[in-house]
Amino acid sequence: MNKVEKVALVTGAGSGIGRAISLRLLEDGFAVVLVGRRRTALEETAALGPASARTTILPADISKMEEVDALFKKVMQEHGRLDVLFNNAGVFTPSASIEDVSLENWQAAVDVNLTGAFLCTRAAFRLMKNQTPGGGRIINNGSISAHVPRPHSATYTATKHAITGLTKATSLDGRRYNIACGQIDIGNASTDMTDKMERGILQANGSTAIEPTFETRYVADAVSYMASLPLHANVQFMTVMATNMPFIGRG
């Protein structure tokens, strides 16, 4: 009997953490579905993978239900199953004190960071529940902001706190179907989005400070471990961060 191919889907796979995770899962032998809004960026990620890797590029806006439903239908048609979903796609809206946050920016953050993760989780859950063999794993990219905020970050912080609730609810609902759900909370992994931290970023006391970062390959190591576990074992929550970043004691 042929070994069943393991399939992973990564959202926000065109850059940063999503790209690093995608490449690591390819190295681990997964067939990886690369999802993001920009096809060119997804193609660049695929080109960086091992020559023997199997990738599927599916551009989609995960904030739109019809695109998510079509995306997972294509996954089922192409691969016949899904073993791992890494909910990674997210946006930062402009930094602002809460009284200056526009409804437009609030909604933009909710649409991608929370609704997008929910829509992908729901679609993956349905697929994992009914496939043979059944079950699978969903890993959510939380954040240090799922624990504590930065100044002027109401939209991002609120959505990332909500991701923790989604993780817990999914984990509970998944028990009877052999669907495991966990969350990785990442602090200051070095990407284009953290460049400003190395130049100086606003602190809770009003000062500006340079914050340490760390290489994304260690995030990839962590997600690789989470994805490698048998379904009767789960990392419920994991925090991976620059050792000296201002998290413990923040504020």
The CA distances from residue 31 to 43, 52, 169, in Å, are: 15, 10, 27
Q: What is the mean pLDDT of the chain?
A: 93
Is the pLDDT assigned to residue 4 strictly greater than 70? no
Q: Which CATH superfamily is domain 7-241 in?
A: NAD(P)-binding Rossmann-like Domain (3.40.50.720)
pLDDT at 1: 30
pLDDT at 124: 98
pLDDT at 147: 93
Q: What is the percentage of the chain residues whose pLDDT exceeds 70?
A: 95
CA dist 248 and 107 (Å) reads: 30
User: Is the bond preceding 133 in cis, omega lying within 30 degrees of 0?
Assistant: yes
Q: Which of 22, 24, 54 is nearest to 41 (CA)?
A: 22
The CA distances from residue 234 to 44, 112, 225, in Å, are: 32, 26, 10
pLDDT digit string, tens, across residues 168-208: 999 999 999 999 999 999 999 988 666 777 778 888 888 88
pLDDT band, very low/low/confident/very high, at 13 (cuts 50, 70, 90) = very high
pLDDT digit string, tens, across residues 19-50: 999 999 999 999 999 999 999 999 999 999 98
Question: pTM for this one?
Answer: 0.93
pLDDT at 194: 65
Residue ranges per domain, the chain?
7-241
- Give the catalytic positions in this structure: 156
